[in-house]
Amino acid sequence: FHASFIPFSSDSSDMMSLDRRLPDARREECLDVKYDLENLPQASVIIIFTDEAWSPLMRTVHSVVNRSPPQLLKEVILLDDNSQRGTWFLLSWCMAECVSVRAYLTTATALN
């Protein structure tokens, strides 16, 4: 394989739960750090994609929503950068199902 090529199985990905549990990968000294969440600013998470397989994209959204302190996550923005596949219907469904998720579709590759 080329160094930049990573094999991907959409069938295997589709069988994984959207809400899977992952181990905490922080260094041990970071586990003890406590933050004053009430005084931290909110953040918007922007996920840009083109022709992305649906299950890893949704797993990413679920991970951001499930692993972020609710008071710090303002919104998740999905930006479809001119996908050739029909993802708008799926994005519309996601916006209806997921709290604080917005989606945008570009008609030309404007991000390059």
> What does pTM read for this prediction?
0.71
- Count of CB atoms within 10 A of residue 41's CB? 6
Amino acid at 11: D
pLDDT digits (tens, 9 = 90+) for 7-59: 777 778 777 877 888 888 989 999 999 999 999 999 999 988 888 888 888 88
Could you give the CA distance from residue 90 to residue 74 in angstroms, rounded to a whole number?
22
Residue 76 has a CB neighbour count (10 Å cut-off) of 23
Gap between the Cα atoms of 95 and 99, Å rounded: 7
Provide Rg for the chain, Cα atoms: 16
Report domain extents, the chain: 35-112
The model's pLDDT over 49-89, given as tens digits with 9 standing for 90+, comes to 888 888 888 888 888 888 899 999 998 888 888 777 666 66
Q: How many CA atoms are closer than 13 Å to the CA of 4, on its beta-carbon side?
A: 0
88-97 and 54-67 helices, crossing angle to 10°: 20
